[in-house]
Amino acid sequence: MSVKALYKEIRFTLRDLIYNSRCRKKLLNNDFSLITCDCTGGCVAKDLKVRMNSPTRNFYFNADDYIKFCKNLDYYLSLTPEPYTGDYSGGGAEYLMASLGDLKMFLVHYPSVEQCQKEWIRRRDRVNKKNMFFVMNDRNYCTEEDIKAFDALPYDNKVCFTHVRYPQYKSTYYISGSEKDNYLKSVMNYVHQWWIKRYYDQFDFVTWLNNGGSNWTQRV
């Protein structure tokens, strides 16, 4: 094992022992579905050691496609990803891509479309439509219009992580650390290479999953 790999393993173990274990003790809601625009849901589920009851893992949508996905959730969940045959405008050309109807999927952590199809079908069938939580961020060509559209979605449990404050939209939550950028850093990144906290730890996922809602007190 390389030094880098060993360090990652040690950091993951420390995070699990020091931080994640405390979160797991507080978690009361264990049968939720995280419908996310990227891999955030998978990371949170792994932290909490709960089953990932959603197919939105190991890939990302651009912001406008994620909004469309959420607006027409039943329809898109009924589909299966297919090999992408369109143009590569809109970024993400370095990743393998798939199509979900008219939506683009950027398969960051899938080695093949076939593997994506298999995992999509398996996790799609787990979705608990009575206990869904929607997570977006202002990355991947997200505009304020997209944030506004997300805020207007008819779901009680939703949060959009942003790199600046948007007090006019109650579902937004400001994550510090990207103020000098035009969009949010990946919330899955560690805040510092020598520390165990990720950017999304600024948000209290456990309290949200236990209580639901989209109107909270900004802690930062």
Contact yes or no for 63/138 (Cβ under 8 A): yes
pLDDT digits (tens, 9 = 90+) for 127-139: 999 999 999 999 9
| Helix or strand (DSSP H, E) at 132 | strand 132-137
> What pLDDT was estimated at residue 216?
61
| Cβ-based neighbours of 166, under 8 Å, separated by 6 or more | 144, 147, 172, 174
* Lowest mean pLDDT, pick from 1-5, 51-55, 170-174, 200-204: 1-5
Stated pTM of the model? 0.92
Confidence category of residue 87, pLDDT binned at 50, 70, 90: confident
Residue with tokens 């997200």: 142
Task: Please give the structure tokens belonging to residue 179.
Answer: 């103020």
* Lowest mean pLDDT, pick from 118-127, 197-206, 210-219: 210-219
> What pLDDT was estimated at residue 195?
85
CA distance 9 to 32: 28
Confidence category of residue 2, pLDDT binned at 50, 70, 90: confident
Where is mean pLDDT largest: 15-19, 112-116, 184-188? Answer: 112-116
Q: What percent of the chain has pLDDT over 70?
A: 95
State the average pLDDT over residues 65-70. Answer: 98
Q: Give the 3-state secondary structure of residue 103.
A: strand
Residue with tokens 């959603």: 54
> What pLDDT was estimated at residue 220?
42
CA distance 74 to 77: 5
Task: Please give the structure tokens belonging to residue 15.
Answer: 């995070």
Q: Which residues make beta-bridge pairs with 158? A: 134
Q: Give the 3-state secondary structure of residue 162.
A: strand
Cα–Cα–Cα angle for 208, 209, 214, nearest 5°?
40
